[in-house]
Amino acid sequence: MQKKLLQQLNPSQQKAVKTIEGALLILAGAGSGKTKTITTRLAYLIDEIGIPPSDTLTLTFTNKAAFEMQKRALDMIENTTPHPPLLCTFHKFGLLFLKFHIHYLERKNNFTLTDREDTKKILKTFNNNLFPIPLLLSEISRYKNSQISPQEAIENAYSPTYKQIAKIYLDYQDFLLQNNRVDFDDLLLLPLEILQKFPEIAKEISHKYQYIMVDEYQDTNEIQYLLLKHLCFTHQNICVVGDDDQSIYSWRGANIQNILNFTQHFRNAQMIKLEENYRSSKKILEAANNLISKNKERLGKILRSTLEEGKAVEILHSSDELEEVKNLCKIIKKLLANGVEAQNIAILFRLNALSRSLEEGFNREKIPYTLVGTIRFYERSEIKDILSYFQVLTNIHDDFSLMRIINKPKRGIGKTTIDKLKSLAKAKSCSIYQLYKEDVTLETLLGNKTLTNLKEFFNTLESLQKYLKDSPQDFLDIFESKIGFCESFNKSNEEVERVSNIQEFYGIYREYHKHNPLMELEDFLNELALRSDQEDVEMRQQSKGIKGINCMSVHSSKGLEFDYVFIIGLEEGFFPMIKEYSNLEEERRLGYVAFTRAKKELYLSYVDSRFYKGNRANISPSRFLEECEVIYPKNSKYSLKTLENDSNFKKGDCIFHKIFGAGRILEITKSGKETKLKINFGGSIRNILSSYVKKV
C-alpha cells in the first residue's frame, strides 16, 4: 500500500484506518470522507497488516455503494489474490449464506428470490380484499423482523383483525415453502435462524471472517444487529461507520439505538469522530449544524467545512405552489443559462405528492427533468413475463411464475383450464408440472386439444432447460425463437416500446453473462431482485443518456450530492410531517440529510397555502426554517418567533392546531422524549404531539 494514500487522509481518518483490533465506531458526518476512510482501512488491513483478503467482510446497504467501495479498495490494494475481499450488501451476503447453508433448514438451495411486486400479487391471492396490501406487507415484515413465526402470530393476536392478518401470514409462508421461494426479509431472517440453531456454523463463519466492517450502521435493524453479533462469535474485530444524525429509516425497521449504544453492545469499543466536511460550503453547513443541534438523542459532533464561506442559504417565500414553481423555474433557468448542467441541480421534497406541480411547471417552461420514483423497469408487464419464464426454467415447480406465462404468448390455454389445473394440483398437494407428468386423467379433464397445447408448452420449457445447461451462450436467441415474445406484439407505438424494453433487457442479460460466465440464470435473477429503485433509475438514465433536473424525495436523495439543491414544502405538516406517531427528531434528521446534499447553493422554499388531497389550506412555515437560523426574506409576514410553542400544557387547556382548529386537552402522556396530547376537537378525539399545537 502506498504511503501517499495514508498521507491524503486527515488525522482522524488516519487514526480510524490504523485502529484495527477490537470494536470501533467511526462516527462520520455528512461529506466527511467515510467511503475513502473505510476503503483505505480495508486496503491497509490487506497490504500493511497482511490480513488475507478472504478473511475480511465488508457490508453495506446498496449495490451501488458496494460497487463503488469495491472499485476504490481494489484500486488501492497491491496484494491481489484470486480471492478478493467480500464486499456486498447485507441482503447479498444473506443470499450467498443461504446458498451454502439453507439445507440446514431442510430446504433446497435453488430457491427463487421474490421481489416486492410478486409478494403483493401472492398476498392478493389470500386476502379476498379484506385488508390493504401495504398493511399486510408491513405487518408480515414486522413479524419476520421480530422473529415471530406465523403460529406465534396467530396465538398472540390481540384482536380478530390481527388473527386474520396472522392467518394470511401463515398462508403466505406456506406458499413460499411449497414454491421454494424466499422474500427479502428471509435473506436476513433465515441466516440468523441458522446461526442461532447451529452454534458450530456461527463459530465457523466467525473464524472465516476475522475482520468485519459495516457501512451506514445507523440504518441497521434488530436482525442485522443480531447477525453481526453472531459473526463476531469468536472475536470483536468489528468496525462500523455511520452517522446517528442521518438515521431516517425507522419506518422500515432501522433502529437508531444500534449506533447510539454501539459502545455498550461490543466490549471495549472505541469511537472516532470524522468532523471535517469536504462537500458543503460553510454557510450550508452552518444551517445544517444549527438544525440538527436541536435534537437531544444524538452522540454529538459538529461538522467543520473545509471549503469557502459560500453563498448564504436562501429562503424562498411564495403565496402558493404555482408561484413556488415559477420562482424555482426563474432561478433554475438562470443557472442553466450560466452553464450549470441540469443533472447538478436537485429539487427535494418530503412528500412525493408535491412533485405534481413541479412536473407541470417544468413542462410549461420546457425545463428537462428526471423524476425518481416512476414505474421500475423490471416491474413493467413485458419484463415481468420474461422474468417469470426465467424463474420457471430455474424451478419448473414454481406455480406462481408458471401461472403468469402459461398462456403468454397465447397458446390456447385459457382461464377455465388454468383454474382446473390449480384446483387439482392443490387437491393433490403437487405442482402443476408434477400433475402433468403423473396424472393420466388430464385428457378427460381438459380435452385432447388443450392437453396437446399443455404438452407442447412443457416440452418447450424442457428443451429450453437443456439449452440453458448445454449452450448458455446461445440461450437468448433460442429462447426468443421458441417463445416468440417480440413477434407476438403488433406495431402500435405502445407495442414498439415494449419490444424495445425486451431487447434492452436481453442486452442486460448478455452483459451479465459476458462478465459472469460461470454464474447461472438463477444468480442473474437474484441479482436483479436485489437492485434498488435508485439503481434501476440510474442504470436506465445512463443507458438512454437522459439528463435533467433531479426531482426526488429526501429519502431517495440519501447518499447523493448536488451543486444546487432546492427543498420545497417546508411548511408545518409537510416538513416536518404531522402524523399521530410522528418522531420529530427523525423529521429533523431528514432535514439535516436534505441540507447536506447541497455543495454550493441551498434554497429553502415555503408557501402560504398549498392544495393537497383535494383541499386548499393556509399553512405556517416549517419550524426548521427558524431552527436552522437562516434569515427570512424581507417580504415574509412571519417573524422568527411564529412557531414558538409553550410546552407547559395542562389538562383542560384550550389549544389550536393548524388543520383541526381549536380543541381542549383531555389527557397528557409522554411518548419518548415527546409529550402526547389527547385532544377533543369538537367531538373528534385525536392524539397529537405537543410540538404541533399552540395554547390559545
Which residues are known binding-site members? Answer: 28-35
Please pick, among 183, 185, 186, 215, the residue that the annotation labels catalytic: 215
Cis peptide before 576 (omega within 30 of 0): yes
Residue 597 is a catalytic residue:
yes
Of the candidates 13, 119, 246, 417, the residue annotated as catalytic is: 246
What is the DSSP secondary structure assignment for residue 567, as one 8-state letter? Answer: E
- CA 19 to chain centroid, in Å, comes to 31
Compute the Cα dihedral for 75, 78, 82, 87 and give only its sign.
negative
Which residue of the set 55, 183, 185, 216 is catalytic?
A: 216
Asked whether 627 and 643 are in contact (CB, 8 A), the reply is no
Of how many residues is the chain composed? 696
Say if residues 567 and 625 touch (Cβ distance below 8 Å). Answer: no
Query: Cis ω on the peptide bond leading into residue 621 (within 30° of 0)?
Result: no
Quote the cell numbers at residue 463: 428443451
DSSP class of residue 48? I
Tell me if residue 322 falls in helix, strand or coil.
helix
Q: Give the Cα separation of 318 and 570 in Å (integer).
A: 11
Beta-carbon contacts of 145 under 8 Å, excluding residues fewer than 6 positions away, are 185, 188, 189, 221, 222, 223, 253
How many Å is the maximal CA-CA distance in the chain? 85
- 216 catalytic? Reply is yes
Question: Among this protein's residues, is 151 annotated catalytic?
Answer: no
Residue type, 337: A
Helix residue ranges, H only, 49-185? 63-76, 90-101, 116-127, 133-145, 150-155, 160-178
Does the annotation mark 246 as catalytic? yes
Q: Are the beta carbons of 372 and 552 closer than 8 angstroms?
A: yes
Name the 3-class secondary structure at 130.
coil
Residues that constitute the known binding site for ATP: 28-35
How many C-beta atoms lie closer than 10 Å to residue 235's C-beta? 16
Angstrom distance (rounded) from CA 551 to CA 540: 16
| Catalytic residue chosen out of the listed positions 279, 597, 610, 623 | 597
Residue 597 C-alpha cell reads as: 446534499
Is 62 marked active-site? Answer: no
The number of angstroms, rounded, from the C-alpha of 6 to the middle of its chain's C-alpha atoms is: 33
Residues classed as catalytic: 34-35, 215-216, 246, 597
